Every structure is written in C-alpha cells, then in structure tokens.
Structure 1
C-alpha cells in the first residue's frame, strides 16, 4: 500500500549535530499517524521499549 506523500515545509524537521533530519511534532501531526519507530518528537506517545501507545 502506498502512503500519501507529505510535502516538507519549514518547521517540519531540523538537523541534528550529526547531520540527520529529525522530524518535529508538527510534521508527525501533519502526517496523521504513528509509524511506531520510536521517533524523538512522537505526539502519539509511542514507547518503542514496551511497544505501546499512551492513551489520550
């Protein structure tokens, strides 16, 4: 299944000191779902260690 392509806009990511793109909460909310990868700014509360999402 192909995912909808989300255009990258200002504020969607920043570069880490190592040079990697780190997506912000703004981008994750625009995307609309949790990828369950343990993202640093996950607004869905996914915990990669326990494989669970916090209920809101």
Structure 2
C-alpha cells in the first residue's frame, strides 16, 4: 500500500468537530513560535481555494485543511492541518 488511506483503509471519514482554520493542538501547539504566521498563511490559502501554502519558517509546502477535507480520507502521515484528527475519547471511568 502506498500510505494513502492506510489508517482508514481508504474509507471516507467524518471531519473533526472544529473549523477548518483551526488545526488540532497536537499538530500546531499554541506555543509554536511561528503559529501566527502559519495560521495566516493557511487562512490565505484556504480563502484562495489553494491546495496549500509555503511554511513561513521552513519554506516547505503544507496542505490546507480544505484540500485534505476534499480528498475525503486521512492518510495517517501526520499532516499539520488534518481535518480528521480529533482529541481521543476520554478514558472510561468506572
């Protein structure tokens, strides 16, 4: 398998219950030194309907949550703006 859909078997998944402009905290912590610039670049790419943006610090191409949502599946590669990643369920108490 090439990695695409490995985590989900290629099944369509529901989106996480957060707006596409808000990444999961484990993927872009609030303490990240470039968070403001990253979120601004991501927002601009989302608004323009672009697939991604250049990371302001590294210059690497980063896919937007909008592009990943349109793809319909999580690839399991740890994308910064993965719209499928959600907080794990709280542990069962008993």
TM-score exceeds 0.5: yes
- Rounded Cα–Cα distance in structure 2 between residues aligned with 1:28 and 1:40: 10
Structure 1, unmatched stretches of 5+, are: 4-8, 47-52
Moved over 4 A (4+): none
Q: Please identify which structure carries the higher helix content.
A: 2
Name the CA shift for 1:21/1:45 in 2 (closer, same or farther; >3 Å).
same
Greater RCO (CA < 8 Å, at least 6 residues apart): 2
Query: 2:84 aligns to what?
Result: 44
CA RMSD of aligned residues (A): 2.9
Structure (1/2) with the larger strand percentage: 1
Q: Which residue of 1 aligns with 2:11?
A: none
Structure 2: which 5+ residue stretches go unaligned?
Answer: 5-47, 90-94
Flag the structure with larger Rg: 2
The number of residues matched between the two structures is: 44
